[in-house]
Amino acid sequence: MPLRKSEGKRRSTDSGVEPDRGALSQEKKDQRIALFLSDFDQQAKENIQEMKKELDSLLQTAEKALTVELLKMPVAIRKMKRKDLL
């Protein structure tokens, strides 16, 4: 005979985070929305700053690689005009 799980407490569908959500006044809802939007804006600004830092780092890496490649070329080619090189 297969074993059956013991009948424990059943889980409710309510998470219990906010029991009376429908009872909130419009003012409270507006405050929550404003808080959410300000938090969203702050996170967006932080992400943009982080991306700018990464972009600067990538640009510096590319500039260093270009400098190294230019140093590998002979002096005559380095001093040559691009038009003449092409």
Please say if the pLDDT value at position 51 is more than 90: yes
More confident residue, 81 or 18: 81
Q: Is residue 9 part of a domain?
A: no
Per the structure, the count of domains in the chain is 1
Please say if the pLDDT value at position 8 is more than 60: no
Q: Is residue 17 part of a domain?
A: no
Q: Is residue 56 part of a domain?
A: yes
- DSSP letter, residue 22: G
Q: Is residue 52 part of a domain?
A: yes
Q: Is residue 4 part of a domain?
A: no
Which domain covers residue 32, as residue numbers?
A: 25-84
Neighbours of 19 (CB within 10 A): 9
Q: Is residue 11 part of a domain?
A: no
Which residues does 78 contact at the CB level (< 8 Å), separation at least 6?
Answer: 70
Q: What does the block give as tokens for 9?
A: 């407490």
pTM (whole model) above 0.75 = no
